[in-house]
Chains A and B, each alone.
Chain A
Amino acid sequence: MSSPDPNRGGPSAPSTLTAGTIPLEVVHARSFTRNPDLAPIEDIREEVLKLEAEGEWIVQRVPDDHTEVTTKYGRTKKIPNRHTWHHKSCGQCGHIPGYSTAIFWLNRELGTEYNDPRDQTSCTAWNYYASATSNAPAQAAVAMRNFAAAYETGFYPVIHCGTSYGHYKEVREELVRHPDLRAQVRDILARMNKPLVMPEEMIHYSEWIHVMRHEIRKRTVLDLSNITCVVHPACHYYKLVAEDAIYDQEIYGGQRTAIMSQLLETLGAKVADYSTWFDCCGFGFRHVLVQRDFTRSFATLRKIERMKEEANPDVTITHDTGCVTTLDKSQFAAKAHGRNVGIPVMSEAQFAALAMGAHPYRVCQLHWHSTDYRPLLEKMGIDWEKAWAEFESDLDRLRSGKTEFLTWDDANAK
């Protein structure tokens, strides 16, 4: 960070670091200056457009209503403000559905038009990275089938899962570099009467939230100045094909992605630092399924305990499926062993929705989370007991058969 900010720890903050951690003073003194002319890698998007000019595929353009941001090497990226096709996440929708619901709720509150498709499959990359029972042509065909489905609607694809986002960037590189792979995927899509379509930009939902942060701030109904957050940036957002992630000189001197941190600051919350911010969450893809001793250990020993020891936050904010799951669910076993854990975990979408007055159960669905979030809600000024009673009343109506589903109108009922 170019200048020390007391909100994030730094030279003026009490030093609680233990031996073996990265001295934060060193981190704060450094700055990463970006110059797109010195970028170490080609701009893959130029190749994507060249291939369109050669008739290889169609490029779906970002809508005119968009916001420009800066990425890792100083290049400009266009983020659509509205009219988006939502590539959902299987882990979010399946196990932490308040995550997806909060993203949709924010879109509704901000008045953007969006499409929640039924002709979308998962990216299948969790399987690809866990079991390896797939291959490059299959993964590329899955991605391009989904992009073609988005193109058919006219809505621009926004990807909810960090792994889908990172993997689709990998797929884009592979398709640009390998004409044979492109031809193979084109043939597969032809069997479905679908065109080969590559989006002009790969967009993660958190990038949309990032550019909407001032609009979200305008609608914030809670005072968050006494809330301390720590941020866990997702590996597959900014490490896997790194150059597409959003960076800002004002956030950690441009050394770390600005995603989430800049939103939280805009909302008025404190963002605290901790030394293992670069570490992954421990999800591991196959590990969380069949080797969870690793996942639990890494998530608690390298992440949660460090956060607790160095920042003692009220909440951990992250922006990917596996990270929310791993960091939240791993704490139960550690707590049973008397470890120094106990930080609620949620996505920035849920946190922003709460700040805008979203219902903690009808919208953010926090009852699907494990680590106790109630002290956080109390500190935010949310009466969780009243909210739970309201939700219980909704459940009673569902049980009685008076209504089959909770609706968006119900979600905002006062």
Chain B
Amino acid sequence: MTVPVVREATPERKAEIFGKVVADVRFQDYVHGCYECGICVAACPSARFYDFSPRKITQAVCREDLDLFWEHVNVDVWNCSQCFSCDRCPRGNSPGGLITIMREVAVTAGLRSAKEALEGGERVVYKIMSTGTQVSPDMLQPEAFPDWGPDVQDVSRNLDLWRRALPPETLHTTTTAWEIDDKTLVELYLIWHMTGVLDMIKAVDEGLHMILNDVMEELLEDHDIVVS
């Protein structure tokens, strides 16, 4: 990952972003103070490979240290593995959960660091939002996974045939992980619209938002669904 440069921001901007994290409905479930015991760091896989500390992030939030928070919300949160090994906190904190919120706030606010962090992941976001399954068989292409060896090429070359050689009737698909009916997709699109997720996409990637909106509008119109 290219580590984003932490942009200077006004104290008001930092306070605004911090306020959004604290106001999230999950915040009170995830943060209860910090003993600085470091159990979360000891359990953390990212801490072994990056200059990353779930303790420091939790501490910065508990102390309302806006300058340190700003650095974390722009850079460090994207190194978290989201494995929740840190959920061993004697205070009952979930540093991983706090980081989930911080990432979401960074995306919703359209922080440039969030845009940079999401670069390269657009097709996965498109796939999950438009088809209801996150990964599909046709994503297994050698150019996308050169480090996974020649077997990826075998899968790619034989994809249609090998999918038809699967006994479960729902798995004969190549562009989605399994067969999903249109009514279910309409319901999923309603969820994205009604919860503001499409607006989140717009904040970080207008092009992707436009494509998703077009795909969704077409199916929603076909089913006479109007979203306000």
A residues whose Cβ falls under 8 Å from a Cβ of B? 88-95, 97, 100-101, 104-105, 116-122, 124, 126-138, 141-142, 145, 149, 166, 170, 173-174, 177-178, 180-181, 184, 187-188, 191-192, 194, 235-236, 239-240, 242, 278-280, 282-287, 289-292, 294, 296-298, 302, 329-330, 332-333, 362-363, 365, 367-370, 391, 394-395, 398-399, 404-408, 410-411
Contacts and interface: CB of A to CB of B under 8 A. Distances in A.
Contacts of A407: 167
A292 B45 contact: no
Given A88-B170, A188-B194, A370 B149 contact: yes
Interface stretch (B4-12, B54-62, B63-71, B171-179): B171-179
Contacts of B195: 135, 137-138, 141, 184, 188
Contacts of B200: 133-135
Contact of A174 (B29, B107, B179, B196): B29
A329 B145 contact: yes
Given A192-B187, A282-B45, A286-B78, A406 B165 contact: yes
Given A135-B104, A286-B78, 5 more contacts: A88-B178, A90-B134, A124-B128, A177-B29, A279-B85
Interface in B107-145: 107-108, 114, 117-121, 124-125, 128-129, 132-137, 139-140, 145
Most buried by A among B124, B128, B167, B176: B167
Given A116-B170, A134-B104, A145-B187, A391 B178 contact: no
Interface of B: 1, 24-26, 29, 43, 45-46, 48-50, 78, 81-85, 87-88, 97, 100, 103-104, 106-108, 114, 117-121, 124-125, 128-129, 132-137, 139-140, 145, 147-149, 151, 154-155, 161-172, 176-181, 183-184, 187-188, 190-192, 194-197, 200-201, 204
A370 B184 CA distance: 34
A298 B48 CA distance: 9
Contacts of A278: 43, 85
B162 to A, nearest CB: 7
A145 B104 CA distance: 22
A191 B190 contact: yes
A91 B29 CA distance: 29
B197 A133 contact: yes
Task: Determine chain A's interface SS by DSSP, over half rule.
Answer: helix
Nearest to B44: A280
12 contacts: A118-B180, A118-B181, A119-B180, A121-B133, A126-B134, A131-B121, A133-B107, A135-B197, A145-B191, A391-B165, A410-B167, A411-B167
B46 to A, nearest CB: 8
A394 to B, nearest CB: 6
B45 A302 contact: yes
A94 B162 contact: no
A131 B82 CA distance: 11
Nearest to B154: A367
Nearest to A292: B147
Nearest to B135: A94
B161 A395 contact: yes
Nearest to A146: B184
Contacts of B106: 132
B104 A404 contact: no
Contacts of B181: 118-119
Nearest to A121: B132
Task: Determine chain B's interface SS by DSSP, over half rule.
Answer: helix
A166 B166 contact: no
Given A131-B125, A239-B83, A284-B83, A332 B147 contact: yes
Contacts of A128: 100
A178 B30 CA distance: 14
A406 B29 contact: no
The 7 A-B pairs at the shortest CB distance, nearest first, are namely: A332-B149, A132-B103, A121-B132, A94-B177, A138-B195, A280-B83, A129-B82
A95 B137 contact: yes
Contacts of A369: 151
Contacts of A174: 25-26, 29
A104 B168 contact: yes
A395 B88 CA distance: 49
A174 B94 CA distance: 14
A292 B191 CA distance: 31
A36 B119 CA distance: 47
B49 A97 contact: no
B177 A138 contact: no
A236 B84 contact: yes
Nearest to A334: B147
A280 to B, nearest CB: 4
A372 to B, nearest CB: 10
A155 B112 CA distance: 46
Contacts of A236: 83-84
A137 B216 CA distance: 19
Contact of A90 (B85, B125, B135): B135
A91 B136 CA distance: 8
A240 B124 contact: no
Contact of B167 (A129, A133, A408): A408
Contacts of A149: 184
Contacts of B45: 279-280, 282, 284, 298, 302
A104 B195 CA distance: 34
B25 A329 contact: no
